[in-house]
Amino acid sequence: MLFFRKRLRKSTPEEEQKFHEDMQKEGVKFKDKLAMVLSAYVVIVLPCLLILIGISLLAMFLLGVL
């Protein structure tokens, strides 16, 4: 088996309530949320798309489509 894998435990309703209260206390502004979403897009989505496009072009080249 995979011994290095940690077992995840479910959070209790009290922990979830505390998390939601803490998030509301922080008061994250719209601009900050937008910056986080855009940076996640640039860091995660764009490289994945570039890799998929690269692999697709390589496969098309190897199969003689290009």
Q: If pLDDT is split at 50, 70 and 90, which confidence band does 3 have?
A: low
pLDDT of residue 63: 95
Do residues 60 and 66 lie in contact, with contact meaning Cβ atoms separated by under 8 Å? yes
In tens, the pLDDT along 9-43 reads: 788 899 999 988 888 888 888 899 899 999 999 99
Mention every residue, 6+ apart, whose C-beta is less than 8 A from residue 45. none
| Euclidean distance between CA atoms 48 and 60, whole angstroms | 18
Do residues 57 and 66 lie in contact, with contact meaning Cβ atoms separated by under 8 Å? yes
Sequence spans of domains, the chain: 28-66
First to last CA, the chain: 44
